Chains A and B, each alone.
Chain A
Amino acid sequence: MSALDQPPENPSRAAEYVLGVMAPSEVALFEQDMIASQDLRAEVTQWQEHFVSLTNAIAPVQPPAKIYNAISKQLFGAPERWWHGLSFLRTLAGGATAALATLLVIAFLVPAPRPDPTAIVQVAAADDELILRIGYFAGSNEIITHPQGPMAREGRVVELWFIAEGNAPVSLGVLAENTDEVIALPEALRDAVLGGVLAISDEPPGGSPTGAPTGDVLAVGNVTAL
């Protein structure tokens, strides 16, 4: 027992340190020793690798969408920045014809960053899982959709809908899987965007045959002004 009480002779110190069972004074001492000893640091790394396997059995749980926004706001001062990753060509593809796009590409070989969106929408399922991020750009009256993973059920498609308060859903088209898309909104909707809702529904291939959602509403999000 007495030999085990002497920290320098205790060969299980690295493991105790990783487990976190040491008293604070022992921790401080151990960390000092770690600075001086590469062997000790290597032992700690090894124990971390072993013990972390105890979390293999823990199933992943999707955190609510608001968490990322809070982190991004705290770190970068703005709630959302994902649209900066979208390429210039992609943002053009929706609004401009191919010929115009070609001309513009020649004119601007260096991709220009898109302005920050006017509003964002986190389209989330009932269990809070974030399915789709959408940015709204008031200048061009366009949205960019940014799926977070697979959306459609087997053999089905998802269709995007805009719902102005108290109105019937307006289809914004069937969404492709795993692709950001630029969608121009009907000019008539411009004034209704802020305060509106975007939703995706489960539909047969080709989209809703009736012009209104026919399948389950998979996810919903409020348009939030930035």
Chain B
Amino acid sequence: MTTRDDIEKLIANMALGDRAAFAALYDATSAKLFGVTLRILNNRSEAEDALQEIFIKVWKNADRYQATGNSPMTWLITIARNHAIDIIRARKTAGGDMDDIAALPDAAPGPEASAIASSERAQIDGCLDELKPDHAIAVRSAYLNGDTYADLAARFDVPLNTMRTWLRRSLLKLRDCLSR
């Protein structure tokens, strides 16, 4: 089992050009990052290409990790998530493909993931439960599907400004809840 400290040390060594540390970090974290990428992209070959690019970013940005103040897994997963979202955005502008958007996985986790989730519920899950269900779905969907205000407005069939107001209010409520 690789601990948070282990991963932090590997990232620090990578910043110094240590390739063995990179190999070890890959072994320890690639399955999680691949799971996240696959979940967001919902396409195996795209996710495989993305995972390559993600780890190249991780190697190249290892020296910036310290400054972010993130925990190591947050830093890694955020890089993976943002990269996957960028791909989704590019997909949308390239094709304007409504079919692809419709085919994106639902924000709710699958059955096997739900089983894991029940034991790993984080503070944010509890706080999302306090929002109206639609609003909670919008927040999850923005994070896990890369939905923009325009996507969410279309999905919930409300005007763009209404969506903005919804989401901002939800985020403020979330912030209050998370700081309790």
Contact = CB atoms under 8 A, between A and B. Distances in A.
B172 A11 contact: yes
Interface string A41-84: 11001001111111111111111100110111011100001101
B61 interface: no
B97 interface: no
B66 to A, nearest CB: 12
A61 B23 contact: no
Contacts of A51: 124, 143
B175 A58 contact: no
Contacts of B152: 21
A57 B165 contact: no
Contact of B77 (A19, A50, A55): A55
Please classify the interface of chain A as helix (H, G, I), strand (E, B), loop, or mixed, using the class held by over half of its residues.
helix
B78 interface: yes
B48 A63 contact: yes
A85 interface: yes
Contacts of A15: 171, 174-175
Nearest to A51: B143
B10 interface: no
A99 to B, nearest CB: 31
Contacts of B82: 20
B27 A58 contact: no
Interface in A1-22: 1, 4, 10-12, 15-16, 19-21
Interface residues of B, number: 63
A81 B26 CA distance: 13
Given A19-B142, A60-B34, A53 B69 contact: no
B56 A16 contact: no
A224 interface: no
Contacts of B102: none
B15 interface: no
Given A19-B143, A61-B34, A81-B19, A74 B73 contact: no
Contact of B143 (A4, A54, A56): A54
Contacts of B81: 52, 55
Contact of A58 (B26, B36, B73, B149): B36
B30 A59 contact: no
Contacts of B98: none
Contacts of B117: 56-57
A222 interface: no
Contact of A61 (B38, B74, B116, B144): B38
5 smallest CB-CB distances across A and B, nearest first, come from: A53-B122, A57-B117, A60-B31, A12-B171, A57-B109
Interface of A: 1, 4, 10-12, 15-16, 19-21, 41-42, 45, 48-64, 67-68, 70-72, 74-76, 81-82, 84-85, 148
